[in-house]
Amino acid sequence: MYAVIVLVVVGSTIWMGFDAYHAGRSWGSVIGWVVGALLVWIVAFPWYLVDRKRFAKAVDKGWE
């Protein structure tokens, strides 16, 4: 069971890093999200998902 939890955390963190990079975020932001997810995944991952939608809307409107 422990291995499944570790796999979910590491896998979603890797996805988050690639997603943030391909969304056009700076390297500092990408590294911050990945480190944050590795340290406090239960907070950082849901926060990223909410922020991801906000960032996409800002890019669509030309704010970023």
Mean pLDDT by 10 residues, the chain (64 residues): 95 94 89 94 94 78 61
Q: What share of the chain is helix, strand, coil (3-state, %, to 5)?
A: 85, 0, 15
- What pLDDT does residue 56 have? 76
Distances in Å between the alpha carbon of 21 and those of 2, 6, 15, 34, 47?
29, 23, 10, 11, 16
- pTM, rounded to two decimals: 0.81
At 16 the pLDDT is 94
